């Protein structure tokens, strides 16, 4: 299913550990982190929902996904992982500070 593809298959196909993948992501300035952490959890949810709509709209039911699919969507994978990490850090910092 497409959820499995995004939550594991695409990342695993690149053959990197999670720490290698994290090292590969671009470094963010404090200002960039602040911008990514702007808004609320609801805002982030709506952003993710919009992106999920585009992702699910890009394939047909039962379609066999080829390497090209992963190649085209890889920048989005990296973006969502980076935003997720930065935003999770904000939530945890607010919770424990």
pLDDT digits (tens, 9 = 90+) for 80-90: 999 999 999 99
Tell me what percent of the residues of the chain surpass a pLDDT of 70.
Answer: 100
CA distance 48 to 42: 10
Q: What does the pLDDT look like over 22-45, one tens digit per residue?
A: 888 888 999 999 999 999 999 999
Instruction: Provide the whole-model pTM.
Output: 0.86
Report the candidate in 15, 32, 43, 19 with the shortest Cα–Cα distance to residue 79. 32
pLDDT at 55 over 90: yes
- Of the two residues 23 and 53, the one the predictor is more confident about is 53
């Amino acid at each position: 299913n497409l959820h499995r593809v995004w939550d594991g298959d695409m990342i695993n196909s690149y053959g990197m550990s999670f720490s290698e993948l994290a090292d590969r992501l671009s470094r963010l300035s404090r200002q960039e982190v602040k911008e990514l952490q702007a808004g609320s959890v609801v805002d982030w949810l709506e952003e993710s929902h919009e992106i999920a709509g585009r992702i699910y709209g890009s394939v047909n039911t039962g379609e066999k996904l080829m390497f090209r699919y992963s190649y085209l969507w890889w920048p989005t994978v990296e973006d969502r992982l980076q935003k997720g990490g930065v935003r999770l850090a904000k939530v945890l910092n607010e919770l424990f500070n």
